[in-house]
Amino acid sequence: MNEPEPETPFEEPWQAQVLAAALVLQDSGEVTPTEWSEALGAAIRRAQDRGDADRGDTYYLHVVDALETILAAKQLVSTDELVQRKADWEHAYRNTPHGKPVSLKP
């Protein structure tokens, strides 16, 4: 008998992964909960200023924006490294067969 899949608030695995990255930064002490909250709030306000209708479907994009912003501000990753990693992921997902998990080559 197959067990039903547990319900999750995430539509895509990357959504859980980006929130997990934010939690790791907080658990490690690199980012305080207050810093994270302020960064996420600022990312949401920037999106609203650009016309985001705030229907909830863009929330995780705001999380990514906040994460990238705080990583750069704290110099935990350089802009060049961030640009390269994003390009690596884009290349990986564009070259991964449909239905297969996307991963970066070591």
Q: Count, in order, helices (H) and strands (E) of the chain.
A: 4, 0
What pTM was computed for the model?
0.79
Kindly report, residue by residue over 53-104, the tens digit of the pLDDT.
878 789 999 999 999 999 999 999 998 998 998 899 889 889 888 888 888 8
**Domain residue spans of the chain:** 13-94
Q: With helix as H, strand as E and coil as C, how does 10-58 read? A: CCCHHHHHHHHHHHHHHHCCCCCHHHHHHHHHHHHHHHHHCCCCCCCCC
HSE value, Cβ hemisphere, 13 Å, CA-based, for 39: 22
Q: What is the DSSP secondary structure assignment for residue 75, as one 8-state letter?
A: T
Quick: pLDDT tens for 28-63.
Answer: 999 999 999 999 999 999 999 999 987 878 999 999
